Amino acid sequence: GAGVSQSPRYKVAKRGQDVALRCDPISGHVSLFWYQQALGQGPEFLTYFQNEAQLDKSGLPSDRFFAERPEGSVSTLKIQRTQQEDSAVYLCASRFGTGSSYEQYFGPGTRLTVT
């Protein structure tokens, strides 16, 4: 079956532009996570959805970051007025259940470069 897919795979944005990153999770997966991976670092948590409900957005670095999952499936991470420090790989992961014993399946990521 299909895994987690993300689009676009690469995005170059000029400073100040808005970007939207898409995540298609594995069908039927209840949980969806967004992580940010800066160069040379491990992924860092941004936000978590259980179905369409955003239960945790404690990792979003500023109010320029916004995520949604309106129908409990596809999710979009939006970054407004991009800054150079936003340059990173953005990873999406989905999980079948709500408990942490379930495996998180990661997408290939979207590499965002802000110039």
Residue ranges that bind other proteins, judged by CB under 8 A: 3-4, 33, 35, 40-45, 48, 50, 55-56, 59, 91, 93, 98-101, 103-104, 106-109
Least separation in angstroms between residue 76's CB and other proteins is: 19
Least separation in angstroms between residue 90's CB and other proteins is: 12
- Specify the residue, 12 or 53, whose C-beta has the smaller distance to other proteins: 53
Looking from the CA of 70 toward its CB, the CA atoms found within 13 Å total 3
For 23, 38, 70, 89, 96, the CA distances from 12, given in Å and listed in that order, are 18, 15, 26, 12, 32
| Distance, CA of 90 to CA of 60 (rounded, Å) | 12
Least separation in angstroms between residue 18's CB and other proteins is: 25
Instruction: Supply 46's token pair.
Output: 């941004």
- Specify the residue, 21 or 82, whose C-beta has the smaller distance to other proteins: 21
Looking from the CA of 32 toward its CB, the CA atoms found within 13 Å total 32
Least separation in angstroms between residue 100's CB and other proteins is: 3
- Specify the residue, 82 or 110, whose C-beta has the smaller distance to other proteins: 110
